[in-house]
Structure 1
Amino acid sequence: MSDGVVFMNPKLVWPIILMGLVLWSVFVWKEWPQRRERRFWPKLIASFFALSSLVMIILKPGTFQKSTKGKAIVLTNGYRPEQLDSLKSIYKRIKTVKYTKGQTLSILTDTDSIFLMGHGLAPYDFWQLEDKSVAFLGGEAITGWTSISYKKKVVLGDFFKVDAKYANPKNGHWAVLVDNGGNPLDSVVFGEQQQIVKLRAAPKASGRFVYGLLEKDDEGNLISKEPLPVEVEKGAPLKVALINTFPTFETKYLKNFLTEKGHQVLARTQLTKGKYKFEYFNGASSPIYGFTSENLKEYDLLVLDSDSYAGLTGASKQAMEAAMESSGLGVFVQPSQGLFSLSESRSPFKFIQDYKNDINLGAPVQNLSKYPYQFKEAWRAQEILLDSVTIASYLPMQRGKVGTTLLQNTYQLVLDGKENLYARIWTQILNSITRERETLVSWKAITRIPRTDEPFHFELRTALNDVEVKTNQDTNIPLLQDGLLINKWTGVEYPRATGWNQLRVSNDSVVTFPYFVYDDNQLQTLEQDEVLRSNHQKFGSEPTFGTSISESRKVLHPISLYWFYIVLLLGMGWLWLEPKLAR
């Protein structure tokens, strides 16, 4: 099947046709005196076909036709041998090649249809199959870790939390979280189906560590170990102002919690109208009476009870909102029953009554008191979750935030000896609302599992001019600036060594980006699952060849010039022979 005739020398079409018409017109003019003779018309027809054949020989006509190349099999990690044998029994002489990451497949020039077996190609090798029709057949079921999620940076004092999934676990096996020295920190036993694992630990020191996620059998034998690189940072102390109309246990225990963390805390409690009691902890010294933009800009977090929030004067509320918008102040409103009855003009929060007075958190499950409300959905509102349960919410206010919670009487957890859960709750809430620290350079790893000699894609955002990024070996990395966001840059590095590596901005040696490079035996099942999903997305899940690629892939085949030469020779031969026959 073809799509009509085209010329392989399209730029010469009109010049050659015009020249042919001129030559034929000259021939007609030359033979015109013989127009009344019978020999005139045969000579005219012969000359026309001869010149037309000459034009076709110069223009070289051709047609687009479907490619008729053969099929081939590409084997990747995880292919099923019995499936391969079945294919080979159907296609006796089909070509087969084993895929190696980063290497060009040798059979592509002779094939246009590919059976892709196994978990698939690495995404950076998809380009090799761009013009092929691919039937992705998949491979063996993955057994092992298919998802491991945790924060790569943790503030000292916060919890290091790991959420992971294990596909096809064996009943009785254990998942164990160990620290840098191999000491167990937390564990959970597997069930029979896909296991969702939640592990927790509290780092004891700052630095760069490689924790471990172990799988052990029911006898304690080690089955597998995956590294969990993490950077534990010393959190900078915050400046916090606690404003209350009267003392409460909730404020007392929150003040103690913040003080024990080393934060500078100013606590103001109203005694009578216009008179206050001030308490200063960890270096805080300046009292606050009325709010101004000047005295609020030095604070990272402002905590008010709902009565103090509702009683703010217009000037104080305006100063607080200005501090949120300009300097990124975080504001947290401690709830009371009165907060839920404030009008929309006096409160940014929206609630709906749900008549539930408690929620369950933690493992083992703990029952906590709450107000009988839930947050009303709003496009600006951001939920604060703990163990997949909404415990608070905040609203962005340009650079700052204002938030509140539904929980009440959380201090009871401390009285009941559940300090860890209390710390988790308030760390999650306050970290989500407090002023965000400004950084000179913001880094982001695009490649999830860096490996040696493979592309590691990264992104950075900075206001620096003429930014340069260097590796551990002091080699410059070329950067590509975004066309729309001028402060956004992307780059690619090919790491040479496993373990901790580092990128840095040459303009400032303090601004670094540590990242961990895994060896080929680490996170294999995690990578296989990611590759499998990428191949399903790229090539589809149906084990058949697509028609769209093969139909659109057509090649220009020239028409044989042999026939045009025959016509040319016959026409020229007749014109040469005809005068001799007429004598």
Structure 2
Amino acid sequence: MQGSWNHIVIIICLVLAALLVWMECRRANRSRLYLRIVAVLLALLALACIILPLGYETYKTENDRHSILLTDGFNADSLKEYKNAGIFTLDDAVKKAYPKASLIYTPDTLHALTKNGKLHVFGYGLSEDELFQLNEIPFTFHPSKLPQGVTNISWNNRLTEGEELILQGKYNNSSARKIKLILKGSGTVADSVIIKPNTEADFTLTALPKITGWEVYSLWAIEGADTTMLGDAPVQVKSAKPLNILIISASPDFETKFLKNWLGGKGYAVATRSAISKDKYNSEYINMARLPLSRLSASLLRKFDVVIGDLSVFTALSNAEDNALKQEVNSNGLGVIVKADSAGKASWLQKHFPVNKPSGKAPDPAALIIGGKKSNSGKLSSNRAYIGYDTGTQPLVSNMQNQILASSTLAGAGKIVFTTLNNTFSWMLAGSQQDYAAFWSALISKAAKKNSDTFDGVLNAGMAFASHTIPLTFKSNTLPLVIIDGEIVSLQQNLTVPFEWNYQYGPLQSGWHSITQSKTEKLLYVQGENNWKGVQAEHKINATQKYILNKENKGIVTKQIQQKVRIEVPKIYFYILLLAACTFLWIEHKIS
């Protein structure tokens, strides 16, 4: 029926075309004849195209249909391009911000919703757990810019008493005003730093915990009159394990006396050996039994964690003693603290510590920088000698001119600490016990044998957030009894590692949570859901981009399903053509 109608229209138009062309040719006025004929034919062609159902067939892929998954941080303006797309979200907060989105509860639901179509993810993306549930669904990621705030953060969360907390991160300040970051702990401000406007800057904040046990520090941002809590930094501070320390000196002196008494008062086991004449020594013992110290042997040195002595004493050791010391340092992790003096004999202990001795009088007492702390120590008199930097060394103490006064280096399994200071007891005489303690704590903790004691904690917990799933791993040859927050949980055995047992923990509240395995209680700190928002955003963006990259490497692409479709030609063009042709014929008739 449609074919017959088309034929009738075409025949009528052809007849009309012949008739109208004949009439134009019969007109007495022959001017513009060819233009009139063309106009007549174009008018009839346009009329036929208006009447006839014109169109063409082509192939269209099914995945031209779009589905959108909105995640935290999405920009609503970026959705304008996808007017007819289905919009979904896994986040209640996103649903409230964009009511048009349909709320789904698990990522695997997207399998059915996006079948034979393209999936687009807007915002910061998905967490590793959510990406795992997608189960190979390919999608296009449209990441949003990171929000203002901390985008990267880390700190040493397991400390030994006397060790400093160092919190480092990156802050994205996209505002036109400066931001002041403050680190709070124990109800006081421990440290602060200023972030300039419109910058992304690294920062470092420090604090010295006053108590042992579990403590929570927090980072705050102050912008004008607004104060915002950014996140918590929980730490565990363990009591310092009393070390066994041997002090050997060329003669009895105040430096050895004060150091021996300070170490003994801290609970350290201390043995001192001071030469009083050739091959004769005076020995003292604090918090430990008497030992023969006249000859340094490997068996004797193995009883100590750190040996402290003047460089002249070490260079005066016999070959057997020197070899024993070198063996214990390189093989068994013994630490050595060397105090520079006037010794002229070279020693392997000074290999990486070149000492510079400028001429002139001794400098006036001045403050020192210990362990890179921003607050300087009390003033201390010192000679002009300082240590030149060498590759592989780590400066520990310096003066205000950035000259190194104490430095350390690795030596096999052990460490060597070298210092040009030999009158630190002056701090004690001046009442600066805190500076004295900070100096020797820094040197001894750096040199001491590695502590084999493990900290309490939970494997693979990472930074945990409330209302987010946290993967926990427990090690046991048999199914362990694990109690979390007072309830026994069911564990899943790792199929590839039989002694590992996994549990997906989903805490709803922030704070400390109790985890007990085999009657041993451990604590896990859970951050508030809104803590470290910038860090969470960056982790999601990185995880999502990694997911995309893995899919590209595996050659996984969206399945292309082609379908033949008919595209209708818009009639508006033919109406315009008909109007133009008729207008020309009317004007030409008027002026003829």
Give the aligned residue type for 2:471.
H
> Which whole-Å CA distance do the structure 1 matches of 2:385 and 2:410 have between them?
20
Which of 521, 525, 537 in structure 2 is aligned with 1:528? 537
Q: State the TM-score, normalizing by the size of structure 1.
A: 0.66
Residue 402 of structure 1 and its aligned partner are, at CA, apart by: 3.1
**Maintained 8 Å contact 1:330/1:433:** yes
When structure 1 is superposed on structure 2, of 256-265 and 410-419 the one drifting more is 410-419
Q: Is the 8 A contact 1:471 1:477 kept in 2?
A: no
Residue 175 (structure 1) aligned with residue 181 (structure 2): yes
2:460 to 446, 452, 473: 446
Task: Letter of the 1:83 partner, please give it.
Answer: S
| Aligned length in residues | 466
CA radius of gyration, larger in: 2
8 A Cα contact 1:480 1:490, kept in partner: yes
Assess, with a 3 A threshold, how the Cα gap between structure 1 residues 452 and 189 changes in structure 2: closer, same or farther.
Answer: closer
Could you say what secondary structure the match of 1:216 adopts?
strand
TM-superposed CA distance for 1:205, in Å, is 2.1
Question: Which deviations, in whole Å up to 9, do the C-alpha atoms of 1:424-469 show, x marking residues without a partner?
Answer: 45434422331233337885643422134644335677xx865836
The aligned counterpart of 2:567 is none
| CA contact 1:80–1:140 (8 Å) conserved in 2 | no
Contact 1:443–1:513 at 8 Å: present in 2 too?
Answer: yes
Pick aligned residue for 1:106 from 109, 113, 117 = 109
Cα distance in 1, alignment partners of residues 529 and 246 from structure 2: 51
Q: Determine helix, strand or coil for the equivalent of 1:116.
A: strand
Post-superposition Cα deviations, 1:408-428, rounded to whole Å, max 9, x if no partner, equal 458399388876566445434
Q: Secondary structure at the match of 1:211?
A: strand
Does the aligned pair in 1 maintain the 2:138–2:548 contact within 8 Å? no
> Counterparts of 2:495 and 2:346 in 1: how far apart (Å)?
50
- Is the alpha carbon distance of 1:451 and 1:226 closer, same or farther for their aligned partners in structure 2, counting shifts above 3 Å? closer
Partner residue of 1:292 out of 292, 297, 300: 297
How far apart are 1:494 and its partner, in Å?
Answer: 0.6
Say yes or no: does 1:375 pair with 2:390: yes
Name the CA distance, whole Å, in 1 between partners of 2:353 and 2:344.
Answer: 10
| In structure 2, distance between residues paired with 1:456 and 1:491 | 10
Aligned counterparts of 2:136 and 2:478: Cα–Cα separation in 1: 39
Task: Provide the C-alpha distance between the structure 2 equivalents of 1:115 and 1:389, rounded to a whole number of angstroms.
Answer: 57
Deviation at 1:80, TM superposition (A): 1.2
- Structure 2 CA distance for partners of 1:465 and 1:239, relative to 1, 3 Å: farther
Tell me, yes or no, if the aligned pair for 1:356 and 1:372 is still in contact at 8 Å: no
> CA separation in 2, counterparts of 1:405 and 1:490?
46
Match of 2:220, SS?
A: strand
User: Distance between the aligned counterparts of 1:364 and 1:424, measured in 2?
Assistant: 12
Three-state SS of the structure 2 residue aligned to 1:205 is: coil
Match of 2:206 in 1: 200
Deviates further, 316-325 or 301-310: 316-325
Q: Is residue 84 of structure 2 the alignment partner of residue 93 of structure 1?
A: yes
Equivalent residue letter for 2:75: R
**Is the aligned partner of 1:236 residue 2:236?**
no
Q: Which amino acid aligns with 1:405?
A: F
Give me the whole-angstrom Cα distance separating, in 1, the residues matched to 2:305 and 2:121. Answer: 55
Aligned residue in 2 for 1:188:
193
Contact 2:490 / 2:503 at 8 angstroms: preserved in 1? no
Instruction: Spell out, residue by residue over 1:277-321, the C-alpha distance to the aligned partner (whole angstroms, 9 max, x if none).
Output: 334345565452212343333322222332232333343344445
Q: 1:120: how far off?
A: 0.9
Residue type matched to 1:371 in 2?
Answer: Y
TM-score when scaled to structure 2?
0.65
Does the 8 Å CA contact 1:396/1:402 hold for their aligned counterparts?
yes
How far apart are 1:253 and its partner, in Å?
5.8
Residues 35-434 of structure 1: pairs in structure 2 closer than 5 A: 68=63, 70-85=65-80, 87-88=81-82, 92-100=83-91, 103-109=106-112, 110-111=115-116, 113-129=118-134, 131-168=136-173, 171-180=177-186, 182-192=187-197, 193-219=199-225, 221-246=226-251, 251=256, 254-255=259-260, 257-282=262-287, 285-286=290-291, 288-321=293-326, 323-324=328-329, 328-336=333-341, 341-342=346-347, 346-347=348-349, 349-350=351-352, 361-363=372-374, 371-377=386-392, 383=394, 392-395=407-410, 397=412, 400-405=413-418, 408=421, 411=424, 414=427, 423-434=437-448
For 1:311, give the aligned amino acid.
Answer: A
Match of 1:41 in 2: none
**Contact preservation (8 Å) 1:162, 1:199:** yes
Whether the aligned pair in 1 keeps the contact of 2:152 and 2:169 (CA below 8 Å) is yes
- Given the superposition, is the C-alpha separation of residues 282 and 449 from structure 1 closer, same or farther in structure 2, using an over 3 Å criterion? same
Pair 1:195–1:67, CA change in 2 (3 A): same
- The answer (yes or no) to whether the contact 1:335–1:404 under 8 Å persists in 2 is no
Equivalent residues of 1:455, 1:492 under 8 A apart: no
**1:504 CA drift (Å):** 4.2
Q: 2:243, 2:268 within 8 Å by CA — same for their partners in 1?
A: yes
* Per-residue CA distance 1:148-205 (angstroms, 9 max, x = gap): 322222223333332233211653543222224x333333343222344333333222
Relative distance call for 1:351 and 1:480 in structure 2 (3 A) is: farther
CA separation of 1:356 and 1:166: change in aligned 2, threshold 3 A? farther
Unmatched segments (≥5 aa) in structure 2 = 1-60, 93-104, 563-592
Unaligned runs of 5+ in 1: 1-65, 558-583
